[in-house]
Structure formats: structure tokens, C-alpha cells
């Protein structure tokens, strides 16, 4: 189900979505899917790694904003890792730099996410997580 262009890796128990070089209307649904998958798997917070990303249009931002809202409604957060000039510039123009927690390395971002109690992140997924509205794959592209 997950889009090969948006691999989701679990690092220290935290889902990390790696975004490709370009995120636009043609692949934003793939990002949305990967974000939904991460939200369903993780301890509440997760990371989107945009270090490779050179281009992100409004559809990409839409996917990120939606995922951040859902994560925050669940008591978690969506953290970003960015590098270079392109993505920070887009975030500055859209004002999103004021609301997203953004870091320059994955280590820094992961350090912000409190360790999962008991050290077994997967056993801590609340049973309600996967029943969140918007988690079903059928909603992903809507």
C-alpha cells in the first residue's frame, strides 16, 4: 500500500517518512498515504524528512498540514527535518515556518519526541489510533 517514493522507516520507535525531491499534485496522494500509515503506526508523533526535497507545492503542504492537525488532535505532533534553501523558503512565504517544528537533522527532531513508555513503541499504540477519521486508505486521496 505504501508508495515506494515515500518510504516509512521506524527510527527509535518513531515513524519517519522520507519525502522525495519533488512533491507536487502528481504524488501528493502518496505522501498523504505515507503520513496516514505513520500516524497509524507511531506513538503519536512522527517525522517527515524533507532533506532531499527541492520542490513542494501547495498539494504537498496540504498533506503536511492535514497530518499535523491529526497528529496534534491525538496529542502528538508532526516534526520536519529540512536542509538547504528551497523548502525553508516555501515555508517562510506560506507562514508555515511559524507553526511547524522544524529541525536540521533527524537526530535533533527525534530528540524532541519523548521516549515511548516501556520502550516498546508498537505495544503502546492506543487501540483507537487506527479508527481515527481519515486513517482509512479510502479517504487518502479524497
Site residues (vs other proteins, CB under 8 A): 22, 24-25, 54-55, 57-59, 61-62, 65-66, 69, 85-86, 89-90, 92-96, 98-99, 136-142
**Closest of 78, 76, 11, 12 to residue 44, by C-alpha:** 76
Q: Nearest approach, Cβ of 83 to other proteins (angstroms)?
A: 14
Burial of residue 1 (number of CB atoms within 10 Å: 0-12, 13-18, 19+):
exposed
Give the number of other CB atoms < 10 A from CB of residue 31.
Answer: 26
The CA distance from 16 to 29, in Å, is 17
Q: Smallest distance from the beta carbon of 27 to other proteins, in angstroms?
A: 11
Cβ nearer to other proteins, comparing 61 with 83 = 61
Cβ distance to other proteins smaller for residue 46 or 91 = 91
Q: Least distance to other proteins from the beta carbon of 65, Å?
A: 5
Amino acid at each position: 500500500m505504501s508508495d515506494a517514493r515515500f518510504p516509512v522507516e521506524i527510527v527509535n520507535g518513531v515513524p519517519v517518512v522520507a519525502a522525495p525531491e519533488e512533491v507536487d499534485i502528481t504524488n501528493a496522494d502518496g505522501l498523504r498515504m505515507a503520513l496516514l500509515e505513520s500516524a497509524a503506526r507511531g506513538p503519536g508523533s512522527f517525522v517527515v524528512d524533507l532533506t532531499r526535497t527541492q520542490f513542494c507545492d501547495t498539494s504537498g503542504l496540504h498533506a503536511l498540514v492535514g497530518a499535523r492537525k491529526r497528529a496534534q488532535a491525538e496529542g502528538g505532533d508532526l516534526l520536519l527535518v529540512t536542509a538547504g534553501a528551497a523548502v525553508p523558503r516555501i515555508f517562510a512565504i506560506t507562514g508555515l515556518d511559524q507553526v511547524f517544528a522544524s529541525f536540521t537533522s533527524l537526530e535533533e527532531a527525534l530528540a524532541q519526541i519523548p521516549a515511548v513508555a516501556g520502550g516498546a513503541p508498537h505495544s503502546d499504540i492506543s487501540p483507537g489510533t487506527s479508527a481515527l477519521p481519515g486513517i482509512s486508505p479510502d479517504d487518502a486521496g479524497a
